[in-house]
Amino acid sequence: MKLITWNVNGLRAALKKDVLAWINQQSPDVLCLQEIKARPDQLELRHIHQLESTFPHITWNPAKRPGYSGVATLTTTPPLDVQLGLSVSEFDTEGRVIRSDHPGFILFNLYVPNGGRDHVRVPFKLDFYAQLLDICDELHNMGERIILCGDINTCHQEIDLRNPKENANTTGFLPEERAWIDTYLAHGFVDVYRHLYPERVQYTWWTYRYNARKRDIGWRLDYFMVSESLVDQVQDAVINDDVLGSDHCPVTLLIDE
């Protein structure tokens, strides 16, 4: 089974850059998109038809604020169940979560809040991590297996960004943000890419400024984290850093059903 996560930084713009050509070539079973910045009725009909021809089952969770945030989960087969949000209105109005239940696992498509340049949203971001973990702990206690994917918006270790010392006080690499990744790992999750490739240096996001992508001055912000009980079924995790169309690149997870 192939799952792909991608922060497209505006779905309408990404579709005009023909990102569907690459997606169709990959033929994922599940495609999780973040920062779609649009409602489905704002997409061109031809794009809707193209999406639906590949993915007959699409769940949208746009933000209430126009042109902001939003996630979408696209699948080739119908999920067993779908839930939007975390049942917390302050998060759910921003369209940041889709939970979809599949045979053998529960998938969370996540767009974690950014802490903001002035750090004003860091407490909001940390509360999001806490609320999500409470849900995951309950599911783990019930024996469920979970896949978390999306733009987690935090680099866990120094290897995960090009300039760690210069960004020690930048949101996305603050100690209190990184500690939450440690907490998730202590609560039964595995960062699949780093588990498979402990010393490999690859990034998933580059600022549009300073010619950063060509110079590979990036951050690894996009993850697949899976329950420990699922790790043995993981075949590979791939950062597709050669794929353009957004300031993020797609990440692929291959699991043995």
pLDDT in tens, 64-74: 999 999 999 99
> Token digits for 230?
């699922």
Catalytic residue flag (residue 151): yes
pLDDT of residue 257: 82
- Element counts in the chain: helices (H) and strands (E): 7, 12
Q: What is the pLDDT of residues 147-192, one digit of tens each?
A: 999 999 999 999 999 999 999 999 999 999 999 999 999 999 999 9
Domain boundaries, the chain: 2-255
Q: Are 247 and 221 in contact (CB under 8 A)?
A: no
User: Where does residue 166 fall: left (phi above 0), alpha (psi -120 to 50 degrees), or beta otherwise?
Assistant: alpha
pLDDT of residue 16: 94
Rounded-to-integer distance, Cα 174 and Cα 177, Å: 5
For the chain, residues with pLDDT lower than 70 are none
Question: What architecture is the 2-255 domain classified under in CATH?
Answer: 4-Layer Sandwich (3.60)
Tell me which DSSP letter residue 114 carries. P
Tell me which DSSP letter residue 113 carries. P
User: Whole-model pTM?
Assistant: 0.98
CA distances from 76 to 29, 31, 73, 88, 217 (A): 5, 9, 10, 29, 35
pLDDT of residue 230: 98
Alpha helices in the chain (DSSP H): 11-16, 19-26, 45-54, 89-92, 122-141, 175-186, 192-196
Catalytic position from the list 18, 118, 137, 151: 151
